[in-house]
A and B are shown apart, each in its own frame.
Chain A
Amino acid sequence: MSKLGSLVRVALRVNFGLSVFRPKALLKNKRDFWMIPLVGLGIVGVGPLIYYYLKLIKLMYTLLAPTGQTSVLLTFAILLGQFFILIFGFYYVVSAFYFSRDLEILIPLPLTPTQVMLSKFAVILTNEYLTVSFFVLPVFIAYGILAKEGPVYWVGAALTYLLLPVIPLTIVALLVVLLMRFANLGRKKDALIIVGSLVLMTGALGFQYWISRSADSSVDSRAVARVLSSSDGLVRSLGDKFPPSIWATKALAFGFKGEGPLNALFFIGLSGGLFLGLLFAAEKLFYRGLVGLSETSARRKAMSKETLAARVSAGRHPVRAIFGRELRIMNRTPIFLLNGVLSVILIPIIFVLLFNTGSGRSDAALLLVALGSKNPATAVLASAFFMALCGCLNGTASSTFSREGGQFWMSKVIPVAPRDQAKGKLLHSFGVAGLGLVAASAVIIVAFHPKAAVLAAAIAVGAVGAFFLTVLGMVIDLARPLLTWTNPQKAIKQNLNVLLAVFADLGFFFLLYFFARFLGKAGLSGPTVVAAVFGLLSLLGILSYRMLLRFADKRYPQIE
Chain B
Amino acid sequence: MIELRNVSKSYAKGRVKAVDNLTLAVPAGEIFGFLGPNGAGKTTTIKMIVGLLRPDAGTIAVEGFDVQREPLRSKALTTFVPDTPAVYERLTGLEYLNFIGDVYGVPKRERLDRISKWLEKFELASAVGSPIQSYSHGMKQKIVLIAALLPAPRVMVLDEPMVGLDARAAHHMKAMMREHCDAGGTLFFSTHIMEVAEKLCDRIGIIHKGRLIADGTMEDLRARNGTEQSLEHIFLELTNK
Contact = CB atoms under 8 A, between A and B. Distances in A.
Contact of A415 (B76, B101, B125): B76
Contacts of B107: 315
Contacts of A333: 90
B106 interface: yes
Given A321-B102, A415-B75, A415-B76, A311 B86 contact: no
Contact of B54 (A302, A409, A557): A557
Nearest to A316: B102
Interface stretch (A292-300, A354-362, A446-454): A292-300
B148 to A, nearest CB: 10
A302 B125 CA distance: 6
Contacts of A313: 98, 101-102, 108, 111
Contacts of B97: 312
B103 A416 contact: yes
Contacts of A328: 90-91, 95
Interface in A430-465: none
A386 B121 CA distance: 56
B53 interface: yes
B75 A414 contact: yes
A328 B98 CA distance: 13
A138 interface: no
A130 interface: no
Contacts of A296: 131, 133-134
Interface residues of B, number: 47
Contacts of A308: 94, 112, 115-116, 128
Contacts, number: 116
Contacts of A558: 54
A300 B130 CA distance: 7
B122 interface: no
Nearest to A411: B103
Contacts of B50: 412-413
Contacts of B105: 315
A409 B52 contact: yes
A311 B102 contact: no
A406 interface: yes
A308 B126 CA distance: 11
A257 interface: no
B130 A414 contact: no
Interface string A308-334: 110111111110111011001100110
A191 B120 CA distance: 32
B116 A329 contact: no
B104 interface: yes
Contacts of B108: 312-315
A337 to B, nearest CB: 10
A417 interface: yes
A285 to B, nearest CB: 26
B51 A324 contact: no
Contacts of A329: 88, 90-91
Contact of A311 (B72, B79, B94): B94
Nearest to A405: B86
A312 B88 contact: no
B82 A298 contact: no
Given A308-B115, A309-B112, A407 B103 contact: no
B127 interface: yes
B28 interface: no
B72 A415 contact: yes
Given A413-B80, A414-B75, A299 B130 contact: yes
A312 B115 contact: yes
A414 B103 contact: yes
Contacts of A309: 112
A295 B134 CA distance: 7
A410 interface: yes
B103 A415 contact: yes
Nearest to A322: B103
B234 interface: no
B103 A560 contact: no
B134 A297 contact: yes
A177 B57 CA distance: 55
A303 interface: yes
Contacts of B126: 300-303
B64 interface: no
Contact of A315 (B76, B102, B133): B102
A19 B91 CA distance: 32
A384 to B, nearest CB: 34
A407 B132 CA distance: 13
A183 B128 CA distance: 30
A407 to B, nearest CB: 5
B129 interface: yes
Contact of B88 (A316, A407, A412, A415): A407
B170 interface: no
Interface in A90-132: none
Contacts of B95: 328
29 contacts: A295-B134, A296-B133, A298-B127, A300-B130, A303-B126, A303-B128, A305-B116, A308-B94, A312-B111, A313-B102, A315-B102, A316-B102, A318-B103, A321-B102, A329-B90, A333-B90, A406-B86, A407-B87, A412-B52, A413-B50, A413-B78, A414-B100, A414-B103, A415-B73, A415-B75, A415-B104, A416-B103, A558-B54, A560-B52
8 closest residue pairs by CB, A with B: A298-B134, A321-B102, A298-B130, A415-B76, A415-B75, A332-B90, A302-B126, A296-B134
Interface of A: 295-303, 305, 308-309, 311-318, 320-322, 324-325, 328-329, 332-333, 406-407, 409-410, 412-417, 557-558, 560
